């Protein structure tokens, strides 16, 4: 998409001003990018907040519904990332650049990109406030703001990331540090953490552990390494079938798991990590580390805390079957920012997008939504540089597998799907609004089997 910049403000349509915008400079004013020349607008039939996985996907679907020029996405970032590949970046098997595309290139044609940050939602007045006092009104609002990483809730972070021994696959700023720390490993504890909050892709904190363990074996360092998973949870995975498979792997690869322990402090200068025993609050244990992979505490984006659209915890309060807001009928939520009680993944966004599309069609026609989201989510649990377990499950934390083979077994095919097929499905299917999850494939492949 050719990005043409326009200055925009809430009360007046200013003359069009071409913008020179080096990617790293902070914007002095919101900008609207469109495929065709269009006047800046302060009203859209469908306004989408956030241009990540859910936002781009829904904008593509909504543009097909209401036509070019009637949908806008508010997104501040210059680049859109395919986050699921960051696990492989941290393990040295992919380049970070291969996961990124300019946001301008993923905004569907006919959809306006408002390059700005949402500051406040005012659903009682059907409008949102952006930076620089800009106000945009809407008929329908889709909230897809993702979640926020809260490294600063751990004492000693984020400044501890200046040490070469710490990394985190969860942020573009720290994912390459994981690979550096792994390469620099000599001997001692390799510790992988899981926080005491909801997270996105709950499998990712242990995927990097399996890859690191494999790397240490490959490079002959494994005999001098203690590989350790220090998790706030009381189980290795919430779905029993996959937990059983993972426990076998953990045992056979001599990995130590410490349950109910939560990282509270990093002393980077001493290579010490402090964990609280969640069953005995206040009881701390200090571990020396040679490598530390931090999965940070996560929570709703700041703008959603104490917002009228959010529940008490700050997540967007939506109906778990229709994704329509529980209080505002013209507001909808998708993805990590919602209080949908399922695991937060891009695969879940795929399943949600097909349902939300139908929900909004019904609402636009004054009908009651009929299609129901079953909580579908998926987590390809990479266990080695050529193996993965393809976990897929629903609201009942029961397996909901696409393929007619046992997906809890480590397989090369599952790994290749994760690494080669999913990115294509993401860029060319999901983000273009054509992929609503594997439900239809599952039905065909399971015909006559159950």
The residue ranges that bind ligand FAD (CB under 6 A) are 49-55, 74-77, 83-84, 86-87, 117-118, 144-146, 169-170, 200-201, 204, 301, 303, 335-337, 344-347, 349, 378-380
| Residue keyed to tokens 């480590």 | 410
Q: Applying CB under 6 A, what is the total number of residues that bind ligand UQ1? A: 14
What's the min distance (Å) between Cβ of 291 and ligand UQ1? 26
d(CA 302, CA 299): 8
Counting DSSP H helices and E strands in the chain, the numbers are 10, 23
Select the binding partner of residue 437 from ligand UQ1, ligand FAD, none (C-beta < 5 to 8 A, by kind).
ligand UQ1
Select the binding partner of residue 400 from ligand UQ1, ligand FAD, none (C-beta < 5 to 8 A, by kind).
none
Select the binding partner of residue 438 from ligand FAD, ligand UQ1, none (C-beta < 5 to 8 A, by kind).
ligand UQ1
Please tell me whether residue 402 binds ligand UQ1 under the rule CB under 6 A. yes
Here the tokens at position 197 are 């909050």
The active-site residue out of 99, 127, 201, 337 is: 201
Which residue minimizes CB distance to ligand FAD? Answer: 52
What's the min distance (Å) between Cβ of 286 and ligand FAD? 27
Q: DSSP character for 145?
A: -
d(CA 331, CA 118): 15
Ramachandran angles phi, psi of 226, nearest 5°: -105, 115
Using CB under 6 A, pick the residue from 208, 344, 426, 433 that binds ligand UQ1: 426
Task: State which of positions 276-335 bind ligand UQ1 (CB under 6 A).
Answer: none
Other C-beta atoms closer than 10 Å to the C-beta of 22 total: 6
Using CB under 6 A, pick the residue from 130, 214, 273, 422 that binds ligand UQ1: 422
Q: Note if 337 is an active site residue.
A: no
Q: Note if 379 is an active site residue.
A: yes
What's the min distance (Å) between Cβ of 275 and ligand UQ1? 30
Select the binding partner of residue 69 from ligand UQ1, ligand FAD, none (C-beta < 5 to 8 A, by kind).
none
Using CB under 6 A, pick the residue from 96, 104, 425, 445 that binds ligand UQ1: 425
Choice between 44 and 435, CB closer to ligand UQ1: 435
Using CB under 6 A, pick the residue from 46, 346, 355, 381 that binds ligand UQ1: 346
Choice between 8 and 345, CB closer to ligand UQ1: 345
Choice between 197 and 277, CB closer to ligand FAD: 197
d(CA 382, CA 87): 9
Task: State which of positions 59-88 bind ligand UQ1 (CB under 6 A).
Answer: 84
What sign does the CA torsion over 227, 250, 90, 239 have? negative
E-assigned strands of 99-252? Answer: 100-102, 111-115, 118-122, 127-130, 135-143, 148-149, 166-167, 188-194, 225-231
What's the min distance (Å) between Cβ of 429 and ligand UQ1? 7
Question: How many residues does this entry show for the chain?
Answer: 450
Select the binding partner of residue 3 from ligand FAD, ligand UQ1, none (C-beta < 5 to 8 A, by kind).
none
E-assigned strands of 297-409? Answer: 298-299, 331-333, 377-384, 387-393
d(CA 296, CA 286): 18
Select the binding partner of residue 51 from ligand FAD, ligand UQ1, none (C-beta < 5 to 8 A, by kind).
ligand FAD
- Closest among 19, 94, 117, 108 to 65, alpha carbons compared: 108
d(CA 385, CA 91): 9
Alpha-carbon torsion angle 355, 361, 362, 363, nearest 10: 110
Please tell me whether residue 380 binds ligand UQ1 under the rule CB under 6 A. yes
Which secondary-structure segment (H or E) carries 209?
helix 204-218
What's the min distance (Å) between Cβ of 240 and ligand UQ1? 19
Please tell me whether residue 378 binds ligand UQ1 under the rule CB under 6 A. yes
Q: Do 268 and 156 form a contact (C-beta atoms < 8 A)?
A: yes
Choice between 77 and 153, CB closer to ligand FAD: 77
Choice between 115 and 345, CB closer to ligand UQ1: 345
Choice between 191 and 208, CB closer to ligand FAD: 208
Which ranges in 365-438 belong to alpha helices (H)?
Answer: 412-416, 422-424
Helix crossing, 204-218 with 175-183: angle to 10°?
Answer: 30
What sign does the CA torsion over 105, 108, 111, 117 have? negative
Kindly list the residues in this chain that would bind ligand UQ1 in the complex (CB under 6 A).
84, 346-347, 350, 378, 380, 402, 422, 425-426, 430, 435, 437-438
Instruction: Report the catalytic residues.
Output: 201, 379
């Amino acid at each position: 998409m050719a990005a043409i910049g326009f200055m925009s403000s809430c009360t007046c349509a200013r003359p069009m001003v071409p913008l020179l915008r080096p990617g790293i400079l902070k914007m002095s004013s919101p900008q609207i990018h469109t495929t065709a020349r269009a006047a800046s607008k302060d009203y859209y039939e469908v306004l989408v907040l956030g241009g990540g996985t859910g936002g781009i996907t829904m904008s593509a679907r909504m543009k097909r519904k209401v036509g070019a020029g009637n949908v806008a996405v508010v997104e501040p970032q210059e680049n859109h990332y395919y986050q699921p590949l960051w696990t492989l970046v941290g393990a040295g098997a992919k380049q970070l650049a291969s996961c990124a595309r300019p946001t301008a290139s993923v905004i569907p044609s006919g959809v306006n990109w408002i390059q700005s940050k949402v500051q406040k939602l005012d659903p009682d007045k059907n409008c949102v406030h952006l930076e620089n006092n800009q106000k945009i009104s809407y008929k329908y609002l889709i909230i897809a703001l993702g979640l926020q990483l809260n490294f600063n809730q751990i004492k000693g972070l984020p400044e501890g990331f200046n040490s070469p021994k710490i990394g985190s696959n969860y942020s573009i700023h720290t994912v390459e540090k994981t690979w550096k720390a792994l390469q620099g490993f000599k001997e001692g504890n390799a510790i992988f953490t899981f926080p005491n909050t909801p997270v996105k892709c709950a499998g990712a904190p242990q995927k990097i552990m399996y890859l690191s363990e494999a790397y240490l074996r490959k490079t002959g360092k494994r005999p001098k390494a203690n590989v350790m998973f220090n998790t706030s949870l009381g189980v290795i995975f919430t779905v029993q079938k996959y937990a059983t498979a993972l426990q076998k792997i953990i045992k056979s690869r001599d990995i130590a798991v410490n349950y109910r322990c939560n990282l509270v402090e990093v002393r980077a200068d001493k290579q010490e990590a402090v964990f609280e025993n969640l069953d005995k609050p206040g009881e701390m244990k200090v571990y020396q580390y040679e490598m530390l992979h931090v999965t940070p505490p996560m929570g709703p984006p700041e703008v959603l805390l104490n917002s009228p659209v959010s529940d008490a915890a700050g997540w967007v309060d939506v109906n778990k079957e229709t994704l329509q807001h529980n209080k505002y009928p013209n507001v909808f939520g998708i993805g990590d920012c919602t209080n949908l009680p399922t695991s937060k993944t891009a695969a879940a966004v795929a399943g949600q997008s097909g349902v939300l599309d139908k929900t909004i069609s019904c609402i636009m026609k004054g009908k009651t939504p009929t299609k129901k989201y079953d909580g579908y989510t998926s987590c390809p649990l990479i266990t080695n540089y050529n193996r993965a377990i393809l976990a897929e499950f629903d609201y009942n934390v029961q397996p909901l597998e696409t393929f007619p083979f046992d997906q809890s077994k480590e397989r090369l095919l599952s790994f290749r799907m994760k690494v080669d097929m999913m990115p294509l499905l993401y860029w060319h299917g999901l983000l273009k609004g054509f992929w609503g999850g594997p439900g239809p494939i599952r039905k065909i492949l399971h015909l006559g089997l159950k």
